[in-house]
Structure 1
Amino acid sequence: MEERKAIVEIKNVNKIFGENHVVHDLDLTIYEGEFLTMLGPSGCGKTTILRMIGGFEELTGGQILVEGERVEEKEPFERNVNTVFQSYALFPHMNIFNNIAYGLKIKKVKKDEINRRVEEMLALVQLNGFEKRFPSQLSGGQKQRVAIARALINQPKVLLLDEPLGALDLKLRKEMQLELKNLQKKLGITFVYVTHDQEEALTMSDRIAIMNQGYLDQLDTPEQVYEKPATRFVADFIGESNIFEATVLKISGEEVSIGLEVGNARGLLEEGTKYELSEMVYACVRPEKVRFSQEEVIGFNLKGIVKEQIYVGNIIKSNIIIANGQTVKISRLNLNEVPKVGETINIYWNLEDVVLMKSRGYQIHTVIENARLGGD
């Protein structure tokens, strides 16, 4: 397998605003030609990271390298990266040609070369014939294409995109997602994309970096992030999840028996993970993976009453209330595969479909106990 070339390396980066520690000890390698998305809720640090790569924000500590060269002391225009902002940031008094050509004119590129490259960019973003129009004469999607063309004309190694589709309506946003992804594949440029939209991240990315209160919770492919979330936060933030608090009752080979507040269940050990008896864990099962039956299943003792069914396009969602009041969600594509409202059912899942995660509270408790008892 061909070794991937690192294009951006973020090493032990911290960012502090006053008393607010926004980014904690971040280590992240971004590879040449990949589409990496920084995903997380507002205030998680994702935009700050993008701004530090672009040179619009200083680091409190750590290093950022682009193509192996440290860039913390360089001005934004000295770095081989360009940024596309959510606000487009187009010059309203300039026509589209001059907006796109602006960076080349600042670099004093020859006129013939500017004309050629602007024509190439207009063709690339499908805006041939729009060069004499002004930003006020364009739709939101067309303005975004101009902003992207203006960033790409400088031939950056890395394109930073800060929620560039946030101002578009849903239909246009979905169209632009596919356009951006196709454009990135065609050009082979590294895209670093910031969004809080989970579906957008899953649709477009080669890898997703999920940020949680300034920490990197998980970095992986969309499939792994969805199927194998590393933390409770990731499981809860990406898509819908059923998350149960549990304790480890028994470990037999790869199988783990867990005790929930209102019953027992089973799961499988992930490779490389170890659990202790009585350890507190989270068990995560996606709604489409939850199964049900009229009869009790061996190793499972979890009953619930079907409270309601919700029709969401081609998906039927069932909400099941278990004895402690928690709602368990089941999703199906076929109406014939959902339980009836009001009936009592047994809930279970295939062992490979549950993800067991260590409880951060248990880890903190263990550290405190070790310190108190003089252990490691």
Structure 2
Amino acid sequence: MSDIVLELNNLACGYGGHKIVDDLSLHLRAGDIGCLLGPSGCGKTTTLRSIAGFEPITAGEIRLLGKVLSSPTHTVPPEQRRIGMVFQDYALFPHLNVAENIAFGIAKHPERKRIVDELLALVKLDRLGKRYPHELSGGQQQRVALARALAPEPKLLLLDEPFSNLDGDLRRRLSAEVRDILKARGTSALLVTHDQHEAFAVCDQVGVLREGQLQQWDTPYNLYHEPATPFVASFIGQGYFIRGQLLTPDTVQTEVGVIRGNRAYQLPGGSAVDVLLRPDDIVGQEGSSQTAIITGKVFLGATTLYRLQLPTGSTLEAIFPSHDDHLLGEELGIRVAADHLVVFAAQGSVNVSAQLPLEQVLQDGSSV
């Protein structure tokens, strides 16, 4: 028996005759938490709504446990899909207390009280069953919404930007709690977010979307270290591209010296390439012939993020332990330690920042 819960095969969908998502294919395994990640307008929520049955599709198909839920000629109604959904605004019923909200979808279940009590304990609200939504904090309301979605034991749970209304610290804590709850229940889920930190903290598989096209569906580790496209490389994490020349399939000549990676690239020898260097690829080395001037600095607690200007004028970023303290304007010896070398055929201008400017790194913890 297949362990695939959700399959999207060559999916196309949109609104009012306008195609937003095109040729999207992915699969989610039983018990896994997946994520659709990307900037606003890339088609994340449209895809989620199509899976839920709220929007028709124009091509391809959506399958749940092998059964076709949507095709251009066939659509199973949302209430018959056995799919739960947690909305961005929680959508709790204000006239029902916590226990009644959770029980809403299982009103006729013979063991309704037991299920509600178990879910109240699971989401750590067992003493708040008689309170009403307006008497709860945002985090507590989100837990109620999650428990309500889990009560009918859905085969798949969809979460649409579920933490976007919460502040940073609560957002991080609750996202970890939600992952623990879903894993404890063995519930398969698909999350939509624009925040890569959230996606990486919660999900087993992440799909990066750009303008309705799926760029890569992979583990967070592989998205960071093995990006399939320049967009994925630039969207995930921080870093800068610098221009180089491929000497051998796994060696590149750059302005910071010769860099040898851990894989061979299928490009002709001598090809111009763009090399992605992330802050953790740059290490300090006293006495190195390669130097850089510190032009920016952000203290992050355990670490400090530095902006470095090379003698050529190109810019890099480096992250060092915070006790390894350096001053603005200081000349620093560096070397590249990029075992997971990320290289693409050269295109456009060089040394383009692959993330937010240094000054914005701490603004909201978001990646877009």
In the alignment, structure 1 residue 357 sits paired with structure 2 residue 344: yes
Normalization by structure 2: what TM-score? 0.86
Tell me how far apart the structure 2 counterparts of residues 55 and 229 of structure 1 sit (CA, whole Å): 31
Candidates 121, 124, 135, aligned match of 2:122: 124
Tell me how far apart the structure 1 counterparts of residues 333 and 99 of structure 2 sit (CA, whole Å): 65
Superposed CA offset, 1:230-265 (max 9, x none): 2222222222112223343x21xx5323355xx653
Tell me how far apart the structure 1 counterparts of residues 250 and 243 of structure 2 sit (CA, whole Å): 18
Candidates 220, 223, 238, aligned match of 1:222: 220
1:342 to partner: Cα distance: 3.1
- Which structure dedicates a bigger proportion of its chain to helix? 1
User: Which secondary structure does the structure 2 equivalent of 1:352 belong to?
Assistant: coil
Superposed CA offset, 1:267-319 (max 9, x none): 33635x4011343422112212213446556xxxx653222333222211221
Q: Which runs of 5+ in 2 are unaligned?
A: 350-368
Divergent runs of 4+, >6 A: none
Alignment of 1:1-376 (within 5 A): 5-17=3-15, 20-72=18-70, 73-105=75-107, 109-110=108-109, 112-248=110-246, 250-251=247-248, 254-259=249-254, 264-268=257-261, 270=263, 273-293=265-285, 295=287, 303-336=291-324, 341-345=328-332, 347-350=334-337, 352-359=339-346
Between the aligned residues of both structures, percent identity stands at 35
Tell me how far apart the structure 2 counterparts of residues 22 and 360 of structure 1 sit (CA, whole Å): 26
1:224 to partner: Cα distance: 1.8
Change (3 A) 1:183 1:278: same
What amino acid is the match of 1:257?
V
Q: Is the 8 A contact 2:250 2:263 kept in 1?
A: no
Tell me how far apart the structure 2 counterparts of residues 80 and 360 of structure 1 sit (CA, whole Å): 46
Q: Which runs of 5+ in 1 are unaligned?
A: 363-376
Superposed CA offset, 1:179-222 (max 9, x none): 11111111001011111111111111111111122122222222
Normalization by structure 1: what TM-score? 0.84
**Higher RCO (C-alpha under 8 Å, 6+ residues apart):** 2
Tell me how far apart the structure 2 counterparts of residues 120 and 151 of structure 1 sit (CA, whole Å): 14
Give the RMSD, CA atoms, in angstroms.
2.4
User: Which secondary structure does the structure 1 equivalent of 2:127 belong to?
Assistant: coil
How many corresponding residue pairs? Answer: 345
What amino acid is the match of 2:337?
N
Tell me how far apart the structure 1 counterparts of residues 129 and 338 of structure 2 sit (CA, whole Å): 59
More moved, 40-49 vs 83-92: 40-49
Change (3 A) 1:276 1:45: same
